[in-house]
Structure 1
Amino acid sequence: MLPLDLPPIDPRQRLKARGAARNPVGRFEPYARLVEDDGWEIAEEEALLRTEVTIERPRSVITRNSSPDIPFDRSINPYRGCEHGCIYCFARPSHGYLGLSAGLDFETRLVARPEAPEVLARELGRAGYAPAPLAIGTNTDPYQPIEAKYAVMRGILEVLSAFNHPVTITTRGALILRDLDILADLAARKLVHVGISVPTLDEALSRKMDPRAPSPATRIKMIRELARAGVPVRVMAAPVIPGLTDHELERILTEARRAGARAAAMLLLRLPNEVAPLFQDWLEREMPARAERVLNAIAALRGGELNDPRFKTRMTGEGVEADLLAQRFAVSCRRLGFARELGALDTARFAPPPRAGDQLELF
């Protein structure tokens, strides 16, 4: 195990349903902040750590990427940070670019972008824009709890629908069922795919790992409801955590297929930058008897390290154990009849909607 270099837990903070317990300084910050006993024997008042939301007014919302192991070239993040609090989330280090911590800050100091739909409409309407599937939920979850108040994701879907623009969504948030009307309509035009993340079916483990995300049973229900509405759904067995959730792989795939998932994907746990010590700290707090075994199992698929940032292998791991895991996944997919892909999304329909005052076409 790594020697942990994390700040002590702040005794003044009362945590309820949080993944991290500490708030290490962001990796770009020049100074560290520590909680120290001042020597005065006066009890500090304990306060419940609550979620704070800041509003951002973006100038652009489409992010481009050229990564060789990601199957999309553009994405949108309606929110920064994620209240689901999944302890293993690979997006946690992105909070460092805001001068915030990948720990408790990531799940309690959130950023909403309520003007994202109108900015997106401007970007899609620019001359020369060439459509391709737009990925949402590849960093932080677009259907995290604050979406109920800000409805940024619904606004984005309305814009994409008006432009006939294809979109892929990855989420574990039950709020996606609120938007079944738009999603079913997009699906009928071959404009949407949805991926539902199910890392475990163990209710107790899920409450510890993903403290503010929907339960595994709810996620299976989400797959069922989306499938009934005609929305193509892929189950994401992600992340697979060696020594902790890997034994559930076949059961996850089976339950998702019964619910109506058409395709499946598997991604190995990634622990980039600050996530590795935060995950180790969580293991030692929540399941100390298993911590060393889990960390050793992770390292066995990562060349002896807890993380491998190289393209391709960062998603799958390498070595005998990684090969066996991939074989188990392939065998299960064949047995259950999963399709390799959900089918191509339609880009030919794309067109900016008419605006007020535009001259109508005669033919």
Structure 2
Amino acid sequence: MPIPAKVRGRGAQSAAVPQRFGLAAREVDGDWLDTREGIDGPGPKLRTTVTEEKARSILSFNQSPDIPFDRSVNAYRGCEHGCVYCYARPSHAYHDLSPGLDFETRLFAKPDAADLLRKTLAKPGYKPAPIAMGTNTDPYQPIEERYRITRQVLEVCLETRHPVTITTKSARVVRDLDLLTELARLNLVAVGISVTSLDPKLSGLLEPRASSPAKRLDALGQLAAAGVPSHVGVAPLIPSITDEFIEGILEQAGGRGVQTASWIMLRLPHEVAPLFREWLSVQYPDRAAKVMSIVQSVRSGKDNDPGFFTRMKPLGTWADLFRTRFRLACKRHGLNRTQPVLDCAQFVRPEEGEQLRLF
């Protein structure tokens, strides 16, 4: 099978139409692919488009035994960061869109998110527990600069004294440091930033429109210095690609005052597996077989393990090695000595229809 040409500035290398839903496959004619640039010149640059979505609700609940939260807010669908390994990519298939390039170029925004959240929190039967942001797509991806939806949601959380957690790959999070500092003073927020490697070139291939590793680490330092509980995620860990950075990431995070850390083994659900294999064939053809061999060794011989209780727990010798390295590095650099527990007792139910206010 021929190696596809590189798609510059994007994580996915193709559209990768999902077959789970019986959609028609898209196939580029091979002869034309080989000669198109010589005849027509370079193809048009991929542009990002945003569709505003009129959502009916914004707070999603789950009963998964594998994650430490039961509710989340996702202000955007799709993510321009373009992380090739993103486990959320298959969600775009529900729009009859590609989990590949469509996921990172055809985005959806929910401008009414803050108003919808206030209405949910105002319901008489609502009981507070930390709201997780960034569980599906990044709340601080580039279009947050325009829409400010994440900031509006944080304003609602501050107004109602509702606890919230944030996970991101963007240094843009520090632009809301004023809100985060006040939420932290009330013990209502914790912020996690995932750092996959310390190599900006590698990061540019894996997650082409996310902040550079150095900027993410600097953002963690700013959060910690401001008293915001900060967390570094070595996530995902990709064997023979990013595992060499485990100790370095934890050393730099610990030196900046970060409190806690975690790691997550690469997950390849549904269309993510062929997208990642395609990426390997383009970017690292020399080690593609080794990477996938190790991935399968920790997932019971498969590309992915979707089962509850096991999907977040890689098994085998390689998993034990990564786990031990991570634990020893955390101990060496003072991470995970304490775990933040956010306060749910301060919650003040908003009056539906009342205007937004900060204080």
Does TM-score exceed 0.5, indicating one fold? yes
Q: Give the match for residue 225 of structure 2.
A: 228
**Residue 161 of structure 1, CA deviation:** 0.7
Cα distance in 2, alignment partners of residues 355 and 65 from structure 1 = 25
Q: Does 2:231 correspond to 1:238? A: no
1:95 aligns with 2:92: yes
Counterpart for residue 27 of structure 2 = 34
2:275 maps to 1:261 = no
Q: Give me the whole-angstrom Cα distance separating, in 2, the residues matched to 1:155 and 1:62.
A: 14
What percent of counterpart residues are identical? Answer: 50
Helix, strand or coil at the partner of 1:24: coil
Distance in 1, Cα, partners of 2:174 & 2:64: 31
**CA distance in structure 1 between the aligned counterparts of 2:46 and 2:321, rounded to whole angstroms:** 42
Q: Match for 1:110: what amino acid?
A: L
- For 1:123 and 1:80, the matched residues in 2 are separated by 20
- Cα 1:106–1:180 shift into 2, 3 Å: same
1-structure distance, mates of 2:334, 2:9: 37
How far apart are residue 341 of structure 1 and its match? 4.7
Q: Give the counterpart of 1:17 among 6, 9, 15.
A: 9
Corresponding letter in the other structure for 2:29: E
What per-residue deviation string (whole Å, max 9, x for no partner) do you get for residues 129-172 of structure 1? 10000000011100000100011100100111111000010001
The Cα offsets for residues 21-41 of structure 1, whole Å up to 9 and x where unpaired, read as 1002133243222233798x9
Q: Deviations over 1:59-100 (max 9, x none)?
A: 100000000011100001010000000011111011111111
Tell me what 2:329 maps to: 332
One-letter amino acid matched to 2:88: A
Map of 2:195 onto structure 1? 198
Q: Whose RCO is larger (CA < 8 A, sep 6+)?
A: 2
1:350 to 334, 347, 352: 347
Could you say which residue in structure 1 is the equivalent of 2:216? 219
Superposed displacement of residue 316, structure 1:
2.7
Aligned amino acid, residue 192 of structure 1: V
Aligned pair partner of 2:248 in 236, 247, 251: 251
Contact map agreement 2:130 2:342 (CA 8 A) in 1: yes
- Give CA deviations for 1:318-347 in whole Å, capped at 9, x if unaligned: 012212221221222222221255321011
Q: More deviation in 162-171 or 294-303?
A: 294-303
Equivalent residue number for residue 312 of structure 1: 309
Query: What TM-score comes out, normalization by structure 1 length?
Result: 0.91
Gaps of 5+ in 2: none
Taking the aligned partners of 1:155 and 1:130, their CA distance within structure 2 comes to 21
Equivalent residues of 1:131, 1:165 under 8 A apart? yes
Alignment of 1:109 with 2:101, yes or no, is no
Return the offset for 1:247.
2.0
Report the equivalent of 1:295.
292
